[in-house]
Structure 1
Amino acid sequence: MRIQLVPAVCSIGIAIPFIQIAPSQAQQQSPVTTPTLSSKEFATDRVVSIETRTGQGSGVIIKHVGNTYTILTAAHVVTDLRNSPLTITTPDRQQYSIDPSAVKLAPNSFDLATVTFQSDRNYTVATVGDSQTVARGQRIFVAGFRANSLQFYPGTVVAISHQPQAYGYGIALGTATILPGMSGGGLFNDTGSLIGINGRSVGTTTVSANRVGVASPLENRVKPVSGLAIPMNTFTQIASQLNVEIEPKPPQPLSSSPTADDFFITAQEKSQTGDYQNAIADYNRALEIDPQFKEIYFRRGIARSLTKDWQGAEADYTRAIAIDPQHPQAYLHRGSVRNVLSNWQGAKSDFDIAAILNPNISAIYVGRGLALCELRNCQSGLKDYDRAIALNPADADAYTRRAFAYHQLGNNRVAVENYIAAAELYQKQGKDVEYFETVEKIKQLVRG
């Protein structure tokens, strides 16, 4: 058999910061629920794409006076201009070249900026909401551009800070996907009001195992799935310093001492820099204040997984499930950890429940496929890998696992076909290490 693969490109452009913390989910998938058409409409005509020399971001139209429009975005989207113009693409696909002088950065290190452009066209201006009304558990929607396509995902508010936070991030989101390029886009409530600006994606590590129960580098992935946003009230308090005349909203009242929500958000900030031990310490402080804060057990489980404290992670997911038995991501992650601990039957049981609670998460079937193969039922495992790929055709890891299953069943020809499909995906996605590892596996099977 002759195999011809083109070497991978080693240069990869990333538009926004990437953080590690949240539940696992393939980035092509929508979160748990799907927004209605009417919900989408309040984002499609007021969110814009911003392109710079270093990547893509998003922004929201918040002001219109005469022929001048003002866009609010995240500062990190527009700071690296180096005297080169940026390009705004409006909802009607018109493009505007913007001089760096039209960009104003927020004071006090807040990750906010405004961009102005001139047009005689009529664009919809977002309604600026009062972020002080935002509450934990509230349904929200995030909107922004990814590869020139507007992405729109529902989710919930996980935490609201009542203390000053670094760069202004004071709203933590759950299950609302913020992909690279969506940074600077809008956080909307269910009435269509703009209540925040998205700026940081919070990711997940999907942990699986090889045949001896050791965490597999190939399955240790970080994918964006939720994030942090800056409350709109933070912007309205400083809008005049950015030459934007807008009615100021009341500032978020500060608590006399940090709340559980405050420690939750600082834990995520620390996890962003890889400081997982101190993130765990902040989660612990949050739980001392609010022992029933279920999301903390789940997120601390992720942090413990990242420090390879598998037993601690399993215990945290178990506690999260005890508080909320309808938490599919907790079952998914506990199943993944149990795979690492070689508890194949326990892992399978967790994936079974996760699949009932949310059958549309591809990672569930990848994890259960592995457990089934270890339980000497690779035929059923293949069906799970098929389902995972049907849900997320771009999941190269699912092809890799399916290839291994076919190899275990003695069908090396189909195994090679799956490895080739995985290698092509890794190459397209710029995952050079995985690409070359997969090529080596192909060579071994062909030689064997």
Structure 2
Amino acid sequence: MKRKRSRTKKKQNSTLQRIASKALRASVVLLKVEPTGHRRGKQIQAVKVAAGSGFFVAPHLIATNIHCVVGTTSVLVEPVTLPTPYPVTDVVAFDDKTDLVILQIPTEGMPLPLGDSDTLKKGERVYAVRCTGGGIEEKRARGAITEGTVHGIRANDAHLRLKTLLSHGNSGGPVINRAGQAIGIAVAGSSSATGTGAGDTREFAYAIPSNAVRALLAEVGAAEPFETWRQRPRIRAYTEASHGYLKQKEKQYKAAIKHYTAALQLNPDLAEIYHNRGALQSLLGHPESAIADWDAALACNPDFTEAYFNRGAAKTTLGDFEGGIIDCSTAIERNPDAAPAYYNRAQARMELKQYTEGIEDYDKALSIGLSEAEAYGAYYNRALAKYLLGLDKAAQGDEAEAIRLYHAAIPDYTKAIQVAPDPSLAGRNYNNRGYAKYLIAEYESADGNMEAARELYEAAMDDSEAAIKRDRRNAYAYCTRAATKIAFDRHDDAIKDFDSAIKLKPDFAHAYHQRGLAKQALGHQKEADTDFAKATEIDPDFEEHP
């Protein structure tokens, strides 16, 4: 069986190589010349830097992204099959809304056939081709191919969504199908900032559909000199946008916003730039400005899924939970596979105490796939939703359902521990898992199942101690450990833990109340009454006497 699988994989790889080879014969490397700052005498020594890829769509015509050929002193094209770089002479067609341009060069290349992007199906395997190296001094350019699948096909949208990770060198390069036809032009990875952070890495990429390229080719007209074209204000906007992307990548968010603003002043139709500026505004704590930018992005592109679910998250931040749900639901209508839309909608539903619906949304988001940061949030919040729903069921007298929900929360807390980005967050989930075990133990104890209760109390104590080890300022972990000590009649030790919890969190009503119970068990009623009174002062929901 293993040998058969090996042969199958070898055959697939051979097919892949043939597809890649055919595509690379039509691909090019775009090179920009920039000053390095190193001087020889009075002259600046220039270097040749690869700016992206492109491919022949006619003997003298190359399709690529606008952003690959702006912001440089000159642009040269080096076909894979030819050792000599050629200057770009003219532009024969372009779309400054979708980042697409058709260049003309003075040499012929082998055109790559265009496929019909409208026939793509979700899950279909595709390959993104790019050129590596390709420096002017090099004898031969080398190619690279990245496999992916079609993840989203959205009507009336500017991009195809692909399940893969691409590098900046893929920008402008072809995305091909198994027949070797170009079905799109890569615009690199997920270049836009996300709702959970501008540095998030998603295993998604985007491509301009090949039918958009076909439509642009039908509009090919009189050639415009390349340098003249690059001076157009709407084209210069891409230079500012490129600087913005770079600053964003370097986490210089205010500087990135300035470049994005300059880009939009030159070209107000760039939905992606409004979206990115909005994401950075949100990250910097300006949700109102972010919403204004996402409004503008949607005015440019009413099917911009990311703008909907990010605007929904910002509305939730501002307390407009219903508005957040509406925006995220709209995003889901346009792209049912937009995992962050389900995640953001779940966050809004949690605020409205719609725990059952929130759990369903977290389930869907996790089944589709989230970034690492969002996956942590989904596991943590889904566990929290189950825990809170369990408390509601317990208050309603449905103990069996409450116990089931507490049990269901435990594996989610375990997953959150595994993917937590730092020790303090892992500690929080150790404690929450421990407290869920403690609550189940209380039910087992009340039912007379002492052996099961003891095991759960011990497990709860272990989890609370693991939480304290990872974060000694976690007041809740001290409180959980204290509660388990009470279960083992270690009231004096429990009081010390409650003291630590209250020192860390002076308004911790639950800790005062529980410490009062421990003191009461030791016969210190006056001190217990003081703690009960303090708990009631902080939170009137606590009765003065238990």
Is 1:108–2:105 an aligned residue pair? no
Distance 2:150 2:355 in 1: 35
TM-superposed deviation, 1:201 = 5.6
Aligned-pair RMSD on alpha carbons? 4.6
Distance 2:322 2:298 in 1: 18
Superposition pairs of residues 63-212 of structure 1, within 5 angstroms: 108-111=47-50, 130-131=62-63, 135-136=95-96, 137=98, 143=128, 150-152=147-149, 180=165, 184-185=169-170, 187-188=173-174, 192=181, 202-207=191-196
Distance 1:414 1:254 in 2: 61
SS in 1 for 2:407: helix
Change (3 A) 1:330 1:43: farther
Aligned to 1:438: 429
Distance 1:348 1:316 in 2: 19
Counterpart of 2:382, as a letter, is: R
Aligned to 1:358: 335
TM-superposed deviation, 1:293 = 2.8
TM-superposed deviation, 1:198 = 7.4
Asked if structure 2 preserves the Cα contact closer than 8 Å seen for 1:142 and 1:153, the reply is: no
Aligned to 1:304: 281
Higher helix share: 2
Is 1:223–2:194 an aligned residue pair? no
Asked if structure 1 preserves the Cα contact closer than 8 Å seen for 2:192 and 2:272, the reply is: no
Is 1:407–2:379 an aligned residue pair? no
Instruction: Name the % identity.
Output: 20
1:421 to 400, 415, 418: 415
Asked if structure 2 preserves the Cα contact closer than 8 Å seen for 1:61 and 1:71, the reply is: no
Distance 2:18 2:430 in 1: 45
SS in 2 for 1:403: helix
Counterpart of 1:416, as a letter, is: I
Counterpart of 1:130, as a letter, is: I
TM-superposed deviation, 1:135 = 3.6
Is 1:279–2:256 an aligned residue pair? yes
Distance 1:178 1:71 in 2: 24
Asked if structure 1 preserves the Cα contact closer than 8 Å seen for 2:308 and 2:327, the reply is: yes
Distance 2:188 2:331 in 1: 30
2:231 to 256, 274, 299: 256
SS in 1 for 2:47: coil
TM-superposed deviation, 1:255 = 2.5
TM-superposed deviation, 1:61 = 7.1
SS in 2 for 1:325: coil
Distance 2:24 2:129 in 1: 15
Is 1:390–2:361 an aligned residue pair? no
Asked if structure 2 preserves the Cα contact closer than 8 Å seen for 1:142 and 1:177, the reply is: no
The unaligned stretches of length 5 or more in structure 2 are: 1-13, 32-45, 64-90, 101-115, 118-125, 131-144, 209-224, 391-404, 438-459, 461-479, 481-546
TM-superposed deviation, 1:350 = 0.9
Counterpart of 1:223, as a letter, is: T
Distance 1:42 1:127 in 2: 22
Bigger Rg, which one: 2
TM-superposed deviation, 1:110 = 1.0
1:215-245 deviation line (CA, Å, top 9, x unaligned): xxxx88712344899xxxxxxxxxxxxxxxx
Change (3 A) 1:251 1:423: farther
The unaligned stretches of length 5 or more in structure 1 are: 1-40, 49-59, 65-69, 75-106, 115-125, 157-172, 208-218, 230-249
Change (3 A) 1:368 1:188: same
Aligned to 1:335: 312
Change (3 A) 1:325 1:42: farther
Asked if structure 2 preserves the Cα contact closer than 8 Å seen for 1:44 and 1:150, the reply is: no
Distance 1:197 1:294 in 2: 17
TM-score (norm 2): 0.45
TM-superposed deviation, 1:130 = 0.7
Asked if structure 1 preserves the Cα contact closer than 8 Å seen for 2:23 and 2:129, the reply is: no
SS in 2 for 1:308: coil
Asked if structure 2 preserves the Cα contact closer than 8 Å seen for 1:382 and 1:405, the reply is: yes
SS in 1 for 2:413: helix
Distance 2:281 2:361 in 1: 27
Aligned to 2:500: none
SS in 2 for 1:205: coil
Change (3 A) 1:292 1:389: same
Change (3 A) 1:201 1:370: closer
Aligned to 1:10: none
TM-superposed deviation, 1:72 = 7.0
Distance 2:52 2:261 in 1: 34
Aligned to 1:348: 325
Superposition pairs of residues 9-20 of structure 1, within 5 angstroms: none
Counterpart of 2:341, as a letter, is: I
Counterpart of 2:147, as a letter, is: L
Distance 1:367 1:285 in 2: 30
TM-superposed deviation, 1:385 = 1.6
Larger RCO (CA under 8 A, 6+ residues apart): 1
SS in 2 for 1:150: strand
Change (3 A) 1:327 1:372: same
Distance 1:367 1:352 in 2: 10
Distance 1:73 1:46 in 2: 22
Change (3 A) 1:384 1:188: same
Higher strand share: 1
Distance 1:220 1:113 in 2: 23
